[in-house]
Amino acid sequence: MKNHKRSQDGFLMLEVALALLITLLVAYWAFDANYRAEQATQAMAQADSIKNVANAAETLVLEHYTDFQAGLPITRSGVTLPFGNSPGQALEPTIDQLRSMDLGLTNPASNFGSFKSLVAASYKISIKRIPAGCEASPLGATCNITGLVCFDKPVTNFGVTDPNEIDTFAIGKMIGKIGGNGGASIVGSKTQITGSGAAWSEPNPITNQPAGIICAKFGFGAAGFGQFLRVKDTRDPDFQGGQTLSGKVPGSPYTQIVNGDTNIEGSLTINSGGPVGADCQPEGGMVWGEVASVPMLLKCVNGKWIPTGITLAKENDPCNPEGRMAQTVTGASLICREGKYRPMTDMVGRGGIYQVAIYKHGQTVPLPVCSGATNPRLVVMGVVSACSVGGGDCPNNTGAFVGQIVNGKVSILGSNGKSVAGVEAMMTVASMCTTY
């Protein structure tokens, strides 16, 4: 009986020990699960902070794309970054500079990380133009702009048994939160920042290129950015539906114009000008094209592009003949007067008389009465005929007309400059007061 009791006591102690072990294991597993959940939350919060910095840098690149391409200083909200790749310059801005540029970063905010070993890590922002040598193209037009925001220290198991061990669990959580633009340097390939799923890689920009560096990529080529068109973009967007633009066209060459603006319902065609005589649509639409190497506004008439006689010019450019119309790149109307293109606004509405009348050869055009600092001017607007030019049924018809005002009198001659045009030829003259 005594030995049997001792045997029972032994089994009881074993059962208690097993129960205690199971309890300890369950407690450990619960603690480990809670710890990992907490670490995952902190790691993803850290990922949000690096994403915010990357978004700010990407906004700067998007707004100043052509400046980065051309290697020019970058100015925003009163802060100017000289172009270069040293700390504080355009290709390596600091977190404080991005914050001062009002790019959406909170102020004040820490310049350091918050997760484990990253509490002593600062942000490194690096931007570059690719491919190599693209900056040699005019204004760097062939350059794409890309960049990385990284912490300058690795993510390690800080405070654990081996403080130098890379915390792959936390890095995985960070990359998962950043998304396709997240990447890290890994053991065995620490010289490269490798993106999620090895979709991309960039040289590790941190000194000595340690493993465990976490980064977020931004700029052209980063996920979600390439879908947007940008200034001087060479890609065809291949829109599948009709597009509508609003506002006046500034007069840039080869930009579609319909009824004087860009309110185009249906299809929009860019860079569709000319050549003269080519098929066109829509009827009445206009584009900038070229006539004898001279930029000229073309109009779609009966399905063909025809020149309007309105050229692209700048104020005070030399011009010929008198009365030719032109337009600036900003859409302002010009008229050829005394050998130079003058703004139409300088020729009307200046307090004097303004009228348009029709005269025949030999008639005298009265000068308007002007006041103030304005001067009387007579401008030939055009020469017309009631019969067809070159048809042979007009008196003294030489195939074209040359119209001018000489000493206040109308002169309408044939194209040889000698024969007086017939009585059917008439000149339209604008009488006005101008500031020149």
DSSP string, 105-153: --SS--SB--SGGGGG-BEEEEEEEESTTGGGSGGGTT-EEEEEEEESS
pLDDT in tens, 224-282: 555 666 655 666 666 665 555 443 334 443 344 443 443 433 333 433 445 677 787 77
Confidence class of residue 424 from pLDDT cuts 50, 70 and 90? low
Confidence class of residue 425 from pLDDT cuts 50, 70 and 90? confident
Q: What is the pLDDT of residue 262?
A: 39
Q: Between β-strands 304-312 and 325-327, what pairing exists: parallel, antiparallel or unpaired?
A: parallel
Higher pLDDT, 11 or 184: 184
Q: What is the pLDDT of residue 157?
A: 81
**Residue among 99, 27, 211, 342 at smallest CA distance from 333:** 342
Tracing tokens 């990284």 back to the chain, one arrives at: 150
What ranges do the domains of the chain cover?
A: 41-219, 352-436
> For 379-404, what is the mean pLDDT?
58
On average, the pLDDT of the chain sits at 75
Q: Percent of the chain having pLDDT more than 70?
A: 66
Dihedrals phi, psi of 140, to nearest 5 degrees: 60, 30
pLDDT in tens, 20-68: 666 666 555 554 556 667 778 888 888 888 999 999 999 999 888 888 9
- Extract the tokens encoding 414: 């044939």
Q: What is the pLDDT of residue 80?
A: 95
Q: What is the pLDDT of residue 257?
A: 42
Say whether 257 sits in a helix, a strand or coil.
strand
The CA-based angle 383-384-386, given to 5 degrees, is 155
- Give the least confident one: 207-211, 215-219, 264-268: 264-268
Q: What is the pLDDT of residue 368?
A: 78
Q: Percent of the chain having pLDDT more than 90?
A: 21
Statement: residue 403 has pLDDT above 50:
yes
Distance, in Å, from the CA atom of 99 to the CA atom of 93, rounded to the nearest integer, reads 10
Q: Give the global pTM.
A: 0.50
Statement: residue 212 has pLDDT above 70:
yes
- Extract the tokens encoding 59: 């906004």
pLDDT in tens, 309-338: 777 788 888 887 777 778 776 667 787 877
pLDDT in tens, 124-151: 999 999 988 988 888 887 888 999 999 9
Distance, in Å, from the CA atom of 262 to the CA atom of 273, rounded to the nearest integer, reads 15
Q: What is the pLDDT of residue 116?
A: 79
Statement: residue 416 has pLDDT above 50:
yes
Dihedrals phi, psi of 26, to nearest 5 degrees: -65, -40
User: Is the Cα dihedral 157, 159, 164, 165 positive or negative?
Assistant: negative
pLDDT in tens, 155-204: 988 655 566 788 888 898 999 899 989 999 988 889 999 998 888 999 99
Q: What is the pLDDT of residue 97?
A: 94
Q: What is the pLDDT of residue 236?
A: 64
Cβ(183)–Cβ(212) under 8 Å?
no
Q: What is the pLDDT of residue 233?
A: 61
Statement: residue 152 has pLDDT above 80:
yes
Element (H, E) at 219: strand 214-219
Statement: residue 18 has pLDDT above 50:
yes
**Residue among 430, 433, 435, 400 at smallest CA distance from 418:** 400
Paired strand residues for 377: 432
Distance, in Å, from the CA atom of 146 to the CA atom of 58, rounded to the nearest integer, reads 9
